[in-house]
Amino acid sequence: MLPKAAAISGVILAGGKSSRMGTDKALLKLGQYYVIERIADTLRTMVDEVVIVTDRSKRYAKYGDRTVSDIMPGHGPLGGIHAGLVQAAHPWMLVTACDLPFISVPVARLMIECAADYDAVVPRYRGYAEPLYALYNKNCLEVMEQHLVRGQGKIRRLYDEIRVRYLEEEEMSLVEPHLERAFLNLNTPKDMLEAQAWGAGLG
pLDDT at position 189: 86
pLDDT digits (tens, 9 = 90+) for 36-73: 999 999 999 999 999 999 999 999 999 999 999 999 99
Tallying the residues shown for the chain, one arrives at 203
- Strand 8-13 and strand 29-30: the pairing is unpaired
Angle at 48 between CA 186 and CA 145, to 5 degrees: 65
pLDDT digits (tens, 9 = 90+) for 136-145: 999 999 999 9
pLDDT digits (tens, 9 = 90+) for 105-123: 999 999 999 999 999 999 9
pLDDT at position 196: 87
Separation of alpha carbons 137 and 128, rounded Å: 21
Domains and CATH numbers, the chain: 5-196 (3.90.550.10)
Separation of alpha carbons 191 and 173, rounded Å: 22
- Cβ atoms of 23 and 191 closer than 8 Å: no
Pick the range with the lowest mean pLDDT from 14-23, 26-35, 99-108, 113-122. 14-23
Among 126, 97, 96, 121, which Cα is nearest to 110's? 121
Among 180, 179, 155, which Cα is nearest to 107's? 179
Among 185, 193, 43, 15, which Cα is nearest to 109's? 43
| In the predicted structure, residue 17 carries a pLDDT above the cut 80 | no
- Return the sign of the alpha-carbon dihedral for residues 153, 5, 138, 40: positive
pLDDT at position 158: 96
**pTM listed for this prediction:** 0.93
